[in-house]
C-alpha cells in the first residue's frame, strides 16, 4: 500500500458512519506519511528498512517490555497462589507455627485473606507477628523487617512489637503463653502499640 492508497481508504471510511472513527486507518496513513518524510530527507535511492527506523524499533522494544512485564506478573501470581496453597495445607496439618516465613509472604497473606472473603486470618497474622518479633525466616534481614512494616496491617505490627518486648522480659515464654498479645493487638491496636513503646522505654 502507498500513501495515496492509505489516504483513499481514510476518505472512503469517512463516508461511512460506522467507519468514520476508525483510528487504525488514520494511524496507517500517518505512518505512511512519516515514512515518506524519512525517505524525502534520506540519500536518494534509500530503501526504507524498519530495522533502522528508530520509531519502529522503539515501538517493538516497548511491546517486548510490556510482554515481559505481563509474563512476570503471571509468574508472580502463580507463585503467590502456590505459596498460599502451601500455607493453607500447613494450617490444616497444624504445623504452620513451625514454618519459617519467606520473602513475599506478606502478599501471600493478602491472597489468603482474599480467598476467605476479606476476613482476617487470625492464625496467619499471629504466625507472621511471631516470626517478625523473633526474626525468623527472611525477617532475619533488617531490610525485610522494614519492608514488612509498610506491607502488613497496624494490628499485626503492634502485635509483633508487643511480642518483642514481652519476650525480652520473659525470654523463656512460649507462643501459647503470649496468646493474649494477639487479642490486645486486635481489639486495641493503638493501646497495644503504646504498651510496647512503654515496655521498651522501661527496659532501656
In the chain, what percentage of residues exceed pLDDT 70? 86
pTM recorded for the entire structure: 0.67
CA distance 28 to 11: 13
Looking at the predicted structure, is the pLDDT value of residue 77 above 80? yes
Whether the Cβ atoms of residue 151 and residue 101 lie closer than 8 Å to each other: no
The predicted-structure confidence for 20-67, as pLDDT tens digits, reads as follows: 455 555 667 777 788 888 788 778 888 888 888 888 889 889 999 999
State the average pLDDT over residues 82-110. Answer: 94
State the chain's mean pLDDT as an integer: 84
Q: Which residues contact residue 148 at a Cβ distance below 8 angstroms, ignoring those fewer than 6 apart?
A: 106, 128, 132, 139, 157
Looking at the predicted structure, is the pLDDT value of residue 86 above 70? yes
113 or 5: which leads in pLDDT: 113
Amino acid at each position: 500500500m502507498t500513501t495515496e492508497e492509505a489516504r483513499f481508504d481514510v476518505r472512503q471510511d469517512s463516508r461511512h458512519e460506522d467507519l468514520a472513527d476508525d483510528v487504525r486507518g488514520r494511524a496507517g496513513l500517518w505512518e505512511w506519511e512519516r515514512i515518506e518524510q524519512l525517505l524525502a530527507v534520506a540519500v536518494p535511492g534509500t530503501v526504507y528498512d524498519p530495522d533502522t527506523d528508530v520509531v519502529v524499533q522503539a515501538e517493538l522494544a516497548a511491546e517486548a517490555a510490556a510482554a515481559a512485564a505481563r509474563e512476570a506478573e503471571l509468574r508472580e501470581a502463580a507463585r503467590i497462589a502456590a505459596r498460599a496453597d502451601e500455607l493453607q495445607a500447613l494450617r490444616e496439618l497444624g504445623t504452620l507455627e513451625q514454618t519459617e516465613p519467606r520473602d513475599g509472604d506478606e502478599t501471600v497473606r493478602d491472597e489468603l485473606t482474599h480467598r476467605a472473603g476479606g476476613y482476617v486470618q487470625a492464625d496467619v497474622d499471629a504466625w507472621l507477628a511471631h516470626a517478625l518479633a523473633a526474626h525468623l525466616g527472611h525477617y532475619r534481614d533488617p531490610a525485610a523487617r522494614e519492608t514488612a512494616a509498610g506491607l502488613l496491617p497496624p494490628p499485626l505490627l503492634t502485635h509483633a512489637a508487643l511480642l518483642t518486648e514481652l519476650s525480652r522480659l520473659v525470654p523463656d515464654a512460649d507462643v501459647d503463653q503470649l496468646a493474649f498479645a494477639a487479642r490486645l493487638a486486635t481489639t486495641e491496636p493503638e493501646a497495644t502499640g503504646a504498651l510496647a513503646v512503654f515496655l521498651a522505654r522501661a527496659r532501656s
